[in-house]
Amino acid sequence: MGMIDIQPATVSAKTSTGVKLKNRLLPFAVVTFIYFIVGFLTTVNEQLQAPLKFTFLDDAGSLKNTFTTLITFAFFLGYLINGTLGSKWVNAKGYKNTLLRGLLLMLSGLIMYLCAALLGDNYPYLVFQVGDSIIAYGFIVFVMGSYLMGTSAAVIQVVVNPYVASYDLPGTQPVQRLNITTAINSIGTTSAPFFVTVVMFSGISIENIEIHQLLWPLMMLIACVLAVTVMTSKLHLPDIAHTRFASGEVPQRSIWSFRHFALGVLAIFCYVGTEVAIGANINLYAFELMDSGHAISFFGRTDLIIGGMDFGIHALLSTLYWGGFLVGRFVASFFSNISARLQLTVAASLSTVLVIVAMITQNLWFLVAIGLLHSTMWSCIFSLSTKGLNKYTSKASGVFISAVFGGAVFTIMQGGLADIIGSWRWTWSLNVICELVILCYALFWFRIREKDNLDEVV
Q: What is the pLDDT of residues 60-97, one digit of tens each?
A: 667 777 788 788 888 888 888 887 787 788 878 888 89
289-312, pLDDT tens digit by residue? 877 766 554 444 445 443 444 445
- In this prediction, residue 334 has a pLDDT band, given cuts at 50, 70 and 90, of confident
166-204, pLDDT tens digit by residue? 777 777 666 677 778 888 888 888 788 778 877 787 767
The answer on pLDDT for 12 being more than 50 is no
What is the three-class DSSP state of 449? Answer: coil
- In this prediction, residue 207 has a pLDDT band, given cuts at 50, 70 and 90, of low
Instruction: Tell the CATH superfamily of the 26-239+254-456 domain.
Output: MFS general substrate transporter like domains (1.20.1250.20)
The answer on pLDDT for 243 being more than 70 is no
Q: What does the pLDDT read at residue 6?
A: 35
- Of all residues in the chain, the percent with pLDDT exceeding 70 is 83
**CA 164 to CA 181: how far, in whole Å?**
8
In this prediction the pTM is: 0.73
The HSE-up count of residue 61 (CA atoms within 13 Å, CB side) is: 9
Mean pLDDT value across residues 374-380: 87
**CA 244 to CA 396: how far, in whole Å?**
10
CA distances (Å), 352 to each of 236, 290, 307, 370, in order?
44, 25, 39, 9
Mean pLDDT value across residues 5-25: 48
Which distant-in-sequence residues (6+ apart) come within 8 Å of 119 by Cβ?
126, 136, 137, 138, 141
Q: What phi and psi, each to the nearest 5 degrees, are found at residue 123? A: -135, 60
Q: Which of 36-45, 289-298, 338-347 has the lowest mean pLDDT?
A: 289-298
Which distant-in-sequence residues (6+ apart) come within 8 Å of 289 by Cβ?
296, 362, 364
Specify which of 184-188, 205-209, 261-265, 319-323 reaches the highest per-range mean pLDDT: 261-265
Q: What is the mean pLDDT of the chain?
A: 80
Q: What does the pLDDT read at residue 220?
A: 92
Comparing 126 with 359, which gets the higher pLDDT? 359
